[in-house]
Structures are given as structure tokens and as C-alpha cells.
Amino acid sequence: MDDEDSLGANKCPVCGSDPRTHPGLRFKINTKCYHRICEGCVDRNFSSGKAECPVAGCHVNLWKREWRPQTFEDLKIEREVEIRKTVGKTLDRREEEFESKRDYDDYLELKEELIMNLVLKIDVQATRRKLKEYAIANGIKTDATEATNDAGTRPTKRQNTPKDAADPSGLIKGLKPVVAPAPKAPYDPFMGMPRTRDYYQVKDSYVARARGKPSEAMSAAGYDFHQYMDECLWKAFAGLGVFIEDEMVAKPVPVSVQH
């Protein structure tokens, strides 16, 4: 913010409209330069597309959608709340992701330090670069990551980051390593049941009893009635669990008692 007094003024700094003489006058602000102008000036200057902020001396390019109603009367609070929301969307780690409570506290301290750097305008470019590198490395989509990189915010490669690190950018320390889930076995609808045909044999008499003499219509389009009967018999045995030979082998042999 260039001029704190002009930001807090009741009049529009562009057209000079005053709420006392224009009842119902509403103001809007943006989250880049935080200048406050009336809705009429927003419509006149930004309805045709992207344009510079109309406040004298400000050359920030803005879209109309970037102007929104003011929430707090004090624009300093408005700006800090917006910064906290933006940083919070990028740094959203939970306590269970850290090795210890101390590591989580260090993360919260780092997060607060980055926020206050932006609020107090301390090392702004370096702070934004750190957040942008973190977002890119962790696949987080933000306005900063989608914008064109310039010399001041271009992310740098970190050569010493281990492959199993939870944060590839190296900004956050103390995170638990990422453990890849165990590969799942392929789905088996038969739950390990052997698909063998050792318990029955399909005979031509089965087909004759079921449908009579097979006709040409039954074998149309490659239809095989023997295969159909084979599948039916296999399902009958498998569904009932009738594996007689296995049951006989597994059955304990009674011990004869000699007198």
C-alpha cells in the first residue's frame, strides 16, 4: 500500500464520490495493491478487460474479477487476513503428518514467519519464491504456480532432497517419510478356489438330455453348448463345495482300538 491515508479515506480516490452526497455508494478493493475505489469506477475502467489500477501513481494491472467488496474497515487487517488465507491454502499440513510435536510446532513457527514477512514487507520476493517452490514441488495449484515465471520467482532445483521425502522442496522439516502402499493382489472372484475340471466330465448325453439334439441355431455365432454345460457343472460343484476326494483325504482316519 503506497498511501495509507488515501486507503482509509471515505471518498473515492478516482472520481471523488462521497457516501454523504451519494447514498448507497459502495466501494471495492483488490488483493494486489489494496486500493479502494467505488463500484462505478471499477465498471468504467475494467469492463473492457485488463487495465491498470486507476489510482494515481499505481501501475498494477488488474482484471475486473479481482475487485471485491471490502470486509474490514481497516485495510491493514483486510490485507493480513487475505495473506493468511493465501498462505494457509499452500501450507496446510496436519499434526499427524509430522514425526513429533516439536516438528509440528517448528512448522507452525515457519508458517507464521512467512506470513509476517509478507504482511510487514520483509524479504517479499524470497518469501514468495519459497512458497512457489513448495507449491510446484508438491503439486499445489495456486495463482503463483500458474503464472509465468520471472527472474525473481523462478523455482530452483534441490539436488539433496531424498526421493522418499514428504516435502520434495525441502522447506518443511520433520515430516514423516512417504510410504508407498503395498500393491494389491488382482481381484479373484473365486477367492482362491482352483478352477479345475477334475471332479466331472462333460458327456454328449448331458447335452442330449438338456436340449435334445443340438441344432444349427444353437451353434450360431460360435456358441458351444459343451462349454455351457461345462461351466454349469463347474459352478454347481464349486458353489456347493462338493470336493469329495479332498474331503476324503482330509478326513481323519479312525484309530482302531484293540482289546
DSSP 212: S
Q: Where are the domains of the chain?
A: 9-70, 78-138
State the CATH architecture for 9-70: 2-Layer Sandwich (3.30)
Average pLDDT across the chain, whole number: 77
Instruction: Give pLDDT, residue 158.
Output: 41
d(CA 52, CA 75): 20
Determine whether 132 is exposed, middle or buried from the number of CB atoms within 10 Å of its CB (0-12, 13-18, 19+).
buried
Q: Are 198 and 249 in contact (CB under 8 A)?
A: no
Write the DSSP assignment of 106-139 as a string of letters: HHHHHHHHHHHHHHTTSSHHHHHHHHHHHHHHTT
Does position 144 have pLDDT exceeding 50, yes or no? no
d(CA 46, CA 67): 10
Instruction: Give pLDDT, residue 191.
Output: 67
Query: What is the pLDDT averaged over residues 217-225?
Result: 62
> pLDDT category, 179, cuts 50, 70, 90?
confident
C-beta atoms surrounding 130 within 10 Å: 20
Query: What is the pLDDT averaged over residues 65-89?
Result: 91
Instruction: Give pLDDT, residue 140.
Output: 84
Q: Phi, psi at residue 113, to the nearest 5°?
A: -65, -40
Query: What is the pLDDT averaged over residues 116-126?
Result: 94
200-216 pLDDT, tens digit per residue, is 777 777 666 665 555 55
Query: What is the pLDDT averaged over residues 8-19?
Result: 83
